[in-house]
Structure 1
């Protein structure tokens, strides 16, 4: 029975049929549509990690639950096919909780991409067929490069201000500690007011620690967001990691332990211990202030390098767009008005780029140790004039002249890009060389100081306190202290440029100078044993510090050697291994080959249409151009085979059938040499490009796998939303619901029980 109906009962026998009857009505309760409620939560460290929890309900039972999504690429404005992911849940119930973790980073989305997604649930209606209900569509939009740039600038500004505020707080704590120390000298025990002051200082110290933790979180989030949506140069990534490590060590565990001990000493009456602890706290806060100051300077330098890297990338992209527009301007079928609009857009982009370069100069001037940046105003002016000229010519309908101006602008952009890349390379190389020389000089001074301290210490042991030589030794110790102070200042200044110098190094030299002061005071008081012990400590600390600096020098030398080796693989000035795309130079990559193949395909198609160089006139010009195209295709094929060999050698042959792809390229070479560009040739070229795109995706997946393996020891399991969604508690409620509900209950009463428990658990 699937519809409302009735039935009648009458009495009858073989003799008589009674007129009396009774009628019953059957009301069929329709199977209702299932319902679904979903809540989503985003990870505070990455918006690409999403946690869902939801409630499914149906009057009879549930069958299936899916998460459906569709990726819309920002590059070609096309939507991909919809993907459906089945989500497990408890099916035998009329209502069920579900939990799901979604890692969007696995979808390889880039800046500007969008993802539309929704959940859909089906009931178990076997009569009419499963009915489904779905949630409203939601959209996740990855920020565009411009949005990302603005967001990064805002976050960087906040980080800078937070560091500066933390430095001010550290100075304030130092001042307050000194005041308490002075007040405590003349008093036998702590007064209530002094205890209150110490409590306030400790509160300020906790606030400082909280601020530092917050800065660490902001920095991690900022760097993570940058690397999620755009390709960041490996060197910059390494510097980001080093800066994060540096910030982790701003407040050491020893410092935290010191502050805890200070809280415990508050209740003790030992004045000398308290005074000693106050002095240690003061020194610790001084170290914190110095490390914050250092971190701020390194952060500013990193900002500058990132800005320069972004400017180069923008310029390269703009140059390619300008070159493409120059080719379009030669096409008679293109309208001048449309071309002018495109040129005006490029002009606007270049104006924005000029602002970025001006900002770069400003940022460099704000550094404590500015870099030697070359002036590019003349280059910018040439480009700007050529672009403006092309716009004017297009406005007058002179497409041929406009094309010449556009090509000129494109060439000038190439030159400017190379100049900026060379500047980037020089800034890195020369800066490292200067820092290395400064470190060597510091090491020599430190060794000399060690010898001098040893001489004074040996003489001091043998000298009587009443001897005139004793006074001279005290003066010599003061001279050593002055030299050590100079080394400390120089080392701290250098540490603002060299991130490899650990915070421990600065703390160690600071402790050496502090012990120098105490040694001089003990010598003045004629306390020979105590002064000798301090001198011995200074000797040991100086020697340890010299060893540390020696290790840092070796580390920097090794890094510079590796860097020079990497740069030699690339012919282009300032070119980085990761970005060099010239065949035959650097490590071959599917990404660079895809870009080059794309350009090659355009030129082959232009030759087919008679629009390429030599295509209109034919003859010798066309033959030369076809020979060039064939040579370039051959170079790409060689790179492909080289990459295939490397992958097979490393046991990573996971990028499809590259040998077949190489054969297809070889067929194209044959066509080009024989001056035979057919539809089949063009179709083959499209297939080559498609396969290279697949290879690029496989390469990206492989790189991601390598990164995952490299960070395996961190044990970061983002797939378990237990804490985030209170999974255990909800699961427990569900199990209690199952146990409480008798199996014999009819559907109506089961629903009532469900409603009761849901309201009770909210």
Structure 2
């Protein structure tokens, strides 16, 4: 820093000090002047009060005005001083103080100002003088100014005279105040205590009167309270005067009354104005000081006679509506509270005022009745009041009603995984896993799903996000379930050292705030290294083969032993030791050993099977053989076999020869039929699996094509300069590409499955389609489209997307044709088989007719050989029917065979059996009648088979047995539409605005009416179809949809008339409930019939049935009782005990 700049800074610092002193001087001067002015003002105001004895209002204005003015003046002085300080370093301020200093010291005069200005010029680039010359000049001024004290230019002595004047004035003011205390000091005291009215300038009195101005109905009484406050806290009084004056509405005085009131407590007085029939003015008085007058106005206010509160819980809870008898409402969140008020007069309006709400809810008025509703969301209180119009003035009720609402939220569902029970599970070699979850909720569930992701993998990246698979839930209205789910692990493509996290989510059925989700604990699947299992796999493979061979030998030995036992029993029972207790005991022990051997063999097979299924190195062919062998042992260890062995043991214990012979006679085992049944079952399962997979892939390709078409349209409508949109579309194109890659992979796998199943034609067609996909280069086209979108080449990408969409649609059509071809092929085979069944039934009917014709002439004189021959042919025909029935029953589910046909076949068999027995007894006429009944049943079965063949022809567009299922699917769609319409109607509930609907609201109602009409038309058509199906199947439906149609017509009428009431909502809920009940009953009936006609088969493992732990307590409002229990804060165990007690009582009452 140069000496020139140092000199300048020194000047600037000294001048600034002068400025600060000057600002302080000015501030002090203003402060003294302010104090002087306010002293004079205070004296004038006090004098004014002393002379004129101002009112309370004027004293209050004077007090606050004086204080406000004083504070404002102080703030102004301080603000001015601070503002001056902030401007001290400005050039103009520095120059002004430099001139003032020069004026105080003649030896420097203007030299200080010139030096400062000269320094400023040196900092400019265009100055015309020498810097050295300027520095020399400034240095000389500095030498002259060094011995001078610049701050001496500002002197505080100038304020002395003003200060003396202020002190004099203040002294005079103080002297007057204390010289005349009863005048000036008392007046000052009255101004400070402005709220009080003073007596003799010493006693301040103030009244606090309640209730003040009021409005009452004629004849009512009014309790009045007055609290007298004194300026002196120690002052009390025991008596005041209470004045009342009755006046007409025009102000003419009718009467006046005053009375002495004694104190109820310290300076507090209470009294009652009774039987007020006219306008009354009242006030209090003490020692001549009166309170403000208050007026009691007589009005004819309305009176609330009754309030009816009805609670409608949300539909999903299935709780009944109920009327509240008390002032406390306890309900579930989302309930509609319907209010109906009856009053004494015609009303102009009514309102529901919630605590804390800014505006009340309005109600619909009809004469003396008001109606309204609201949805209970949270705890709170509300007041119901009514208003009537009285000569242009609104009068509210004298008795508003208060209510309390306690809202219990729909609780979150609970969930835990109970199987597998370990946190880390080894899944090496497993293709599926049983995951059993226990879920609970207060009202039910909507869906469950399992979430999973690969957290570590040796051969690929880990998943960032969880993937999900839905878990079917059938008993959605239960409150406690154990839900098993067979998880197909093959889709995870697990490899060595892979680790997968998984959990289960459940969503409740909260229809008000939306389904709430809860998640179970997170568990892990671990796939150990395959290298560590290779040696064990090879070793176990040999052990398993030897073990199964031994088990098979043991089983055959068992059969041999049992045959020998039977032969010995027939030849010589005594050799079995029946008469020897020791030998008898040995034989019983041998039978017990046989049973134990069966148990141990089965257990060993189960363990071996489990180990083998975990080993992915086994060939499929070998595994299939082991599976067949295991099924064979399951057939051997059957219920019938165990019962036979049990009877053998009982016979030996009882030492009963005849019983033992009968038990040995009933022991049978048909190995050939068992193997044949197993092969058929496995063949059918493989077909079902392939067909399902084919359908899934067809749907997947259709979805891919739709996504690509949607992306094409989206790209077409996107601005080419919108980079964000193009990037999003690029990601979508990548997703479509990944889906296509996955589709190709699954299709290749399915082709191999068809090949293994022996369907070479379908396998070749799928391979041909895969080759065509490769030729079209779809993957490359999608990649190019993605890159063009990323680079902003919208037009080029759009052209590529057009080609991709065309290719996908072509492939989609090809896939659809392939699926249809496969289904037609299967349908054709089925039709051929059904036609074969029909011809065989006709042939049997013909044979039965011939036998019936022969037996028609049988009587007691007929040759016994004729009876025997007819019986022989009848038994042969019965055996043919038995074989045919077995074949038909094995295909009953595929054909969709009706229960009536099963009954006809059973009746025919029974009648043949009866005819055979009657022929044995030579009862010709009875046998002929039974044969006629058998033929009639055969003809009925043939007729139904003929109908099935006709309905299953390609020209009819139906697959055998598919009619009822299609109708149920259509009904499910109608239920979903009705549920959606019900949800839209939630916002259309009555809220007191009837007659004031906007055009938009009325248009919305008309739209909803049209939608309801469409649903009604669909239900009408479905109802007719169900009735036709009933005739075809011969099954009686549990109800119909007639009432549903009537209810829908009522809703349509309400919507068209813009009149939506709570009854409309209840009717909607009934519609949905009836549709669900009809669907459920029809499915249960269908399931029951299918169960009766389904033969024993071995299917691929599917999820086991759910276990219902607790059912919904919705009968007679048990759930509502549970809500009421929560108010009492009972313990959870005690609440459960009480609730069971309530259920028991209500079940007895029913």
Taking structure 2 as the reference length, the TM-score comes to 0.31
Radius of gyration: which is bigger? 2
> Which has more helix, going by share of residues?
1
- Relative contact order (C-alpha < 8 Å, sep 6+): which is higher? 1
> Which has more strand, going by share of residues?
2
